[in-house]
Amino acid sequence: MSNKKTKECNDMILCRIWQVLKKPSVKYSLGTLLVVGFISGIVFWGGFNTAMEMTNTEEFCISCHEMEDNVFEEYKETIHYSNRTGVRATCPDCHVPKEWHHKVVRKIQASNELLHKALGTIDTREKFEAKRLKLASHVWETMKKNDSRECRNCHNFEFMDFGEQGRRAINSHSKALDTGKTCIDCHKGIAHELPDMHDVDPGSSIGDI
Amino acid sequence: MMKKITTITVLLATVVISMQAISETVSSLRGAHDIEQDSSAPAPKRYAKDNEPIARDYVQQPPLIPHKTTNYRINLKSNKCMSCHSWSNYREAGATKISQTHFESRDKNVLANVSARRYFCTQCHVPQVNAKPLVENAFEPVTAISGQ
């Protein structure tokens, strides 16, 4: 039976590789195979994670001018970049999930961003501004769905001392806690400029004059 | 001889007067400092973080902003103040609503949204720091509106 299959395989490379893989090893001991497999597993897995973490740095994010000239410049004026204590939240702290499986899902989604980088969808300020509402809406929607998960890596209602907050913050945060609101419901545009808000909240934008 | 004495006297007087002029310092509202000397920078003032609304001091005074407005952006795309003070948001935010007078065009036509000439809030409404007046004054708020 196996002879018959091998014969069929003669002119197909993939099929021949499969035949070799299927056969038990005659040359190497089970121990060697296990040890080599184990070590190369660590190396490959470590390499994969290291490569993924390299894409999780601010330096990597702003290596594209689309990010460096637009959102990064805007972020530099905000409290998450410069503040009293010098603690910073960099791009991936807010835009890449911490948990591994969420992170991998986000990284796979990012392939779409690579495509649009290649297409030059937002390669000028004007193109970026035209797309800003759509792009911002995606982020708002995601954060609304996951209860502002990335904010909560640092900010959490449970550990907020309302007594230390200002009058307005106490009011808003107590109300938000009671009504089950999430951070992004109010805190839009805290790290980047807002898009034209006329369609989102007509009262808070002048619109077309 | 007389001429020589006069010349010397005049010269001496000139030197004394000019030395006095040099040692004199310019006195401004920031204090007295030699022109060559670096003046120390004043301590940065901090905006009042969050207070109750501040009573007006005179009729037609644009109400003062009783909270910090750092990084509140006002541009054509959005107006951060209006995210709380607009008619659609003030109830939920517990904020003072924008005056109806701000919905009028220059020709007194009533508009559906805030007028462009009233859009830039901080042209008239300003946040406060606890700064002592540089010049003493005897200003008294109008009793009719301050209730004092």
String of DSSP letters for A31-87: HHHHHHHHHHHHHHHHHHHHHHHHTTSHHHHTTSHHIIIIIIHHHTTSTTTS-SS--
Distance of alpha carbon A92 from alpha carbon A97, whole angstroms: 8
Q: Does residue A74 or residue B22 have the better pLDDT?
A: A74
Q: What is the mean pLDDT of residues A131-154?
A: 95
pLDDT of residue B146 exceeding 60: yes
Worst-scoring range by mean pLDDT, A124-138, B10-24, B93-107, B122-136? B10-24
Q: What is the mean pLDDT of residues A50-73?
A: 93
3-class state of residue A9 by DSSP = helix
For residues B67 and B73, the answer to whether their CB atoms sit within 8 Å is no
Residue B148: predicted pLDDT: 55
Query: Which residues of A, range 150-179, sit inside 8 Å of B by Cβ?
Result: 166-169, 171-172
pLDDT of residue B28 exceeding 60: yes
Q: Does residue B16 or residue A180 have the better pLDDT?
A: A180
Residue A21: predicted pLDDT: 85
Does any CB of chain B come closer than 8 Å to the CB of residue A74?
no
pLDDT of residue A94 exceeding 80: yes
pLDDT of residue A1 exceeding 50: no
Structure tokens at B140: 């008294």
Q: Which of B67, B73, B119 sits opposite A206 (nearest CB)?
A: B119
pLDDT of residue B22 exceeding 60: no
pLDDT of residue B32 exceeding 80: no
Residue B3: predicted pLDDT: 76
Q: Is residue B5 part of a domain?
A: no
Note the residue count of chain A: 209
Q: What is the pLDDT of residues A168-201, one digit of tens each?
A: 899 899 999 999 999 999 999 999 999 999 888 8
Q: Is residue B94 part of a domain?
A: yes
pLDDT of residue B48 exceeding 90: no
Worst-scoring range by mean pLDDT, B9-18, B113-122, B134-143? B9-18
Residue type, B99: S
Q: What is the mean pLDDT of residues A116-137?
A: 94
Q: Is residue B64 part of a domain?
A: yes
Q: Is residue B142 part of a domain?
A: no
A193·B71 Cβ contact <8 A:
no
Residue B137 gets the label, from left (phi > 0), alpha (psi -120 to 50) or beta, of: beta
Q: How far is B25 from chain A (nearest CA, A)?
A: 38
pLDDT of residue A3 exceeding 60: no
Q: Is residue B109 part of a domain?
A: yes
Please tell me which residue of chain A has the smallest CA distance to B118: A206
Residue A107: predicted pLDDT: 94
Q: Does residue A54 or residue B23 have the better pLDDT?
A: A54
Q: What is the mean pLDDT of residues A103-127?
A: 94
A23 pLDDT band, cuts 50/70/90, is confident
A13 pLDDT band, cuts 50/70/90, is confident
Q: Is residue B147 part of a domain?
A: no
Please tell me which residue of chain B has the smallest CA distance to A78: B71
Residue B23: predicted pLDDT: 54
Q: Is residue B19 part of a domain?
A: no
Q: Please, which residues bridge with residue B127 across strands?
A: B65
Q: How far is B43 from chain A (nearest CA, A)?
A: 16
B75 interaction partners in chain A (CB closer than 8 Å) = 193
Residue B6: predicted pLDDT: 77
The boundaries of the domain holding residue B120 are 46-130
A209 pLDDT band, cuts 50/70/90, is low
Residue B140: predicted pLDDT: 85
B88·A171 Cβ contact <8 A:
no
User: How many distinct structural domains can be found in chain B?
Assistant: 1
A132 pLDDT band, cuts 50/70/90, is very high
B49 interaction partners in chain A (CB closer than 8 Å) = 166
Q: Which of A78, A193, A204 sits opposite B82 (nearest CB)?
A: A204
A193 interaction partners in chain B (CB closer than 8 Å) = 73, 75, 77
Q: Please, which residues bridge with residue B50 across strands?
A: B67
Give me the CATH number covering residue B120.
1.10.1130.10
Q: Is residue B31 part of a domain?
A: no
Worst-scoring range by mean pLDDT, A53-67, A88-102, A170-184, B17-31? B17-31
What percent of chain A stands above pLDDT 90?
A: 73
A118 pLDDT band, cuts 50/70/90, is very high
Question: Which residue in B49, B77, B86 has the most chain A C-beta atoms within 10 A of its own C-beta, making it the best mutation to test that interface?
Answer: B77
DSSP class of residue B27?
E
pLDDT of residue B141 exceeding 70: yes
What pTM was estimated for this model as a whole? 0.77
Q: What is the mean pLDDT of residues A140-164?
A: 93
Does any CB of chain A come closer than 8 Å to the CB of residue B46?
no
